[in-house]
């Protein structure tokens, strides 16, 4: 009998995402799990991680999980209390290494939809829209996407491109005027971790979460996902990481109780 997991799926996602962030780099984060992942990285392997918030907080040491990117705690012990204009300009000038985004829908080239489901003018559902997501996905060097995966969310072609990935494939991003070397880097779902094939720019499975199979991944995708030859398994959260997550999010706002 397989050993029962002592961690929740949300804890696993937060820990896996945090490990992607390197010490001494900068990251533009949004509300919820991206915040938790960045705060966890700062408390563990990346103490010099520069966290940037959309409302203008630059380099804070956030005490506990803020309610939003405009919460006053996003400025706590920060190196700068600036503005949305300044942090977006920093992205545009190439100063931000990582961007953390969520997505309602993603396609095989990493294009993100957070605008509408269905036809734009007569949609079946309207979503929150871009906010700063288009800027982050366009200008940060590496974009990390956290989302839930199923056949309605992992689609061959998104209904609307809110945030560009690799558009229609190799060279399309650069042809649209975006800097070479930028673009989606990793996608993390409840099933595994994905990167993008260098030759085709298509989504590629790099690691499975414990207990998940490649068949599970393909069954929850609306297109054939490429699979890495050296497929690995993600590392479960340690007791210390789980303890830190409760310190970061004491009310369980994002992690849960």
CATH number at residue 176: 3.40.1080.10
Answer for the pair 187, 147: CB distance below 8 angstroms, yes or no: yes
Radius of gyration over alpha carbons of the chain, in Å? 18
In a domain, 77, yes or no: yes
In a domain, 55, yes or no: yes
Contact indicator for 208, 217 with CB cutoff of 8 Å: yes
Evaluate whether residue 224 is within a structural domain.
no
In a domain, 196, yes or no: no
Give Cα 206 distance to the centre of its chain.
15
How far apart are the C-alpha atoms of 76 and 63, rounded to whole Å? 7
| 61-79 tens-digit pLDDT | 999 999 988 899 999 999 9
- Look at the alpha carbons of 39, 28, 110, 149 in this order and tell me if their dihedral is positive or negative: positive
Task: Name the residue among 116, 112, 86 with its Cα closest to residue 100.
Answer: 112
3-state secondary structure of 76: coil
Inform me whether the pLDDT recorded for 2 exceeds 80: no
Q: Domains in the chain: how many in total?
A: 1
pLDDT at 102 over 70: yes
pLDDT band at 4 (very low <50, low <70, confident <90, very high): low
Averaged pLDDT, 95-112: 95
128 within domain boundaries? yes
For residues 166 and 189, give the distance between their C-alpha atoms in angstroms, rounded to a whole number.
Answer: 19
> Over 50: is that where the pLDDT of 3 sits?
no
| pLDDT of 76 | 96
Residue 163 is given by DSSP the state B
What does the pLDDT look like over 161-175, one tens digit per residue? 999 999 999 999 999
Dihedral-angle region of residue 97 (phi above 0 means left; psi in -120 to 50 means alpha; beta otherwise): alpha
Query: For residue 31, what pLDDT is reported?
Result: 84
Q: Which residues are catalytic?
A: 54
H or E stretch at 52: strand 50-53
8 Å CB contact between 20 and 144: yes
Asked if the model's pLDDT at residue 190 lies above 90, the reply is: yes
Question: How much is the pLDDT for 123?
Answer: 87
Does residue 107 lie within any of the structural domains?
yes
C-alpha distances in angstroms, 161 versus 104, 114, 138, 155, 245?
11, 8, 12, 12, 33
Domain for residue 176, yes or no? yes
Strand order in the sheet with 154-155: 112-113, 105-107, 154-155
List the domain range (segments joined by +) for residue 143. 9-190+236-248
Report yes or no on 167 lying in a domain.
yes
d(CA 114, CA 104): 5
Q: What is the DSSP letter of 190?
A: S
* Residue 1 pLDDT greater than 50, yes or no: no
């Amino acid at each position: 009998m397989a050993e029962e997991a002592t961690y929740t799926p949300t804890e696993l996602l937060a820990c896996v995402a945090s490990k992607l962030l390197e010490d001494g780099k900068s990251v533009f984060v949004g509300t919820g799990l991206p915040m938790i992942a960045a705060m966890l990285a700062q408390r563990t392997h990346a103490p010099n991680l520069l966290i940037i918030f959309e409302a203008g907080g630059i380099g804070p040491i956030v005490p506990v999980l803020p309610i939003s990117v405009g919460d006053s705690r996003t400025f706590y012990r920060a190196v700068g209390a600036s503005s949305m204009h300044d942090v977006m300009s920093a992205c545009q000038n190439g100063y931000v290494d990582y961007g953390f985004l969520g997505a309602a829908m993603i396609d095989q080239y990493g294009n993100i939809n957070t605008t509408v489901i269905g036809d734009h003018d007569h949609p079946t559902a309207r979503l929150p829209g871009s906010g700063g997501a288009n800027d982050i996905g366009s200008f940060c060097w590496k974009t990390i996407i956290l989302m839930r995966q199923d056949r309605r969310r992992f689609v061959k072609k998104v209904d609307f491109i809110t945030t560009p990935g690799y558009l229609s494939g190799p060279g399309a991003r650069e042809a649209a005027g975006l800097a070479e070397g930028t673009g989606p880097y990793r996608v993390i779902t409840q099933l595994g971790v994905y990167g993008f094939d260098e030759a085709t720019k298509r989504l590629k499975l790099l690691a499975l979460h414990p207990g998940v199979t490649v068949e599970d991944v393909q069954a929850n995708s609306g297109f054939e996902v490429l699979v890495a030859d050296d497929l690995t398994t993600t590392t479960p959260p340690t007791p210390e990481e789980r303890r830190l997550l409760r310190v970061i999010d004491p009310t369980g706002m994002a992690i849960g109780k």
